[in-house]
Structure 1
Amino acid sequence: MLRGWAEFRQTLTILSELGSYLLNSVIFVAVLLFMDGNEMENTALFGTGITQATLAMPGVLATMLVFGGIVSMAQLLSTDREDGTLLRAKALPRGTQGYLVGKVVSVSLITLLSMLVILVPAVLLIDGFQFTVQGSLTLLWVTALGLLATLPAGAILGSLFTNPRAIVGVLVLLLMGLMMVSGIFFPISMLPEWLHWVAQVFPIYWLGLGMRSGLLPDTAVVEEIGESWRTLETVGVLGAWALVGLLLAPIVLRRMARRESGSSLEERRHKAMQRIG
């Protein structure tokens, strides 16, 4: 815990790192403000007062959570593996476990900060949000479950990649594809029915649904599958992903750490220098 808090505070003091995390949040806010006032034509939401910005906002938050939990976690772990940080942690008593907990804490905090940078100005400047006590509690538990579902997945994927630069290209393309079929930026009813089943296998769809249930008025539910927010199903699917991830991530990370040695680290550095040369 203390390691993660220390890493988070250090990130706040390095403007280049902080800017890289928050730049996307600022861009998303600008896009939402540009979309504000545009109604959802040709959908059941037309005339309800729900604008394109209102509908996109929950998807933006879900996107930040997914990219923070999976891509950032995977990239940081792979980078620490490449530069020897993980190898040094392995040499300490319970070092691998402490390393993983620290990364979970630091990535969670920076992800939450990125989401707040979007949420606060959007709620203040964009009309149409159903921002109530119940909605706020929904956002909290969806975010907590979302982090539990995505962070272990990010740790597992980071353990599989030896090149942190490859992670960005591969995972971003994969996640963007899943987002396109998950309907987090537009009603999933616009997509073919067979894609509905594909989307519901992965946590991205359920994160978007949970965020919408916390931010949008009940009139928006007409565009959801079964015209329901399906709260129990959201808890069940995200909880299942979290449980599987929490069970597998420590095992995968320990096996990866056991394979780490000074010779393997030197070999990777030699290959990296050859690529640069």
Structure 2
Amino acid sequence: MTVAITGATGQLGRLAIAKLKTLLPETEIVALARSPEKVDSGVAARAFDYDRPETLAAALQGIDRLLLISSSEVGKRTAQHEAVIAAAKAAGVGEIVYTSLLHADRSPLSLAGEHVETEALLAASGIPHVILRNGWYAENYTGAIPAALQHGALIGAAGAGRISGAARADYAEAAAVVLAESGHAGKTYELAADTAWTLADLAAELSRQSGREIPYVNLSETDYAAALVKAGLPDWLSAAIAGWDVGASQGALYDDGKQLSALIGRPTTALADVVRAAL
């Protein structure tokens, strides 16, 4: 069996390949990347550019299972994913594993639409597939730690919303397990951390480990977006991040099904460990 991973030079792709190397022989793993020369995982690499659909089927020749890591280009994802799915069908790929969004079918987050559309494309393709609905990466929030330490406060607009955010490595491990094993086709997994936390919890953990008092300051959606713009983020991204926080306040990032830990056979990474790694 030969498995391939798109986005192989990205953060999730690199972690998935590293875990796959412990589950499968390296000769059975193919890294697909826009710049294959940047693949440094020791496995075979092929050029794979979502925006060059005419080249994708050739790159997927001989691939039995494909991990389709969702594109990072919001607004272009559906078209890019459609091209990959069509190429996979033309190349005879036997199974696709797709990284979607937690509770995509009912999520209020602006990101959900393209994931729902991609899930529909997979269903229409006739290719056996697995949907991994990934929850929020804890790193989405720990990335704010440097600014929180600099300014003496962690800011956001998530209120007391509970966030079931797991470490990116946990999601990568789940993807690797599903790629390496049989019996997952046709399933949709809602993947999230075992224990949910709030941004106030994150601030408290950061305070404990840094030895400084770092409170969580909750802002309105408008004020949070404005603060992100002031920090140098583009207007559209600032508005999107603030909107996702509001979604979190409404429960969009919460799940207690523990399907992620069941897949990887261990508890998900604790918030304290994620903060320690970030520091």
Same fold (TM over 0.5): no
Q: Normalising by structure 1, report the TM-score.
A: 0.31
| Between structures 1 and 2, the one with greater strand share | 2
Between 1 and 2, higher relative CO (CA 8 Å, sep ≥ 6) is seen in 1
TM-score with structure 2 setting the length: 0.31
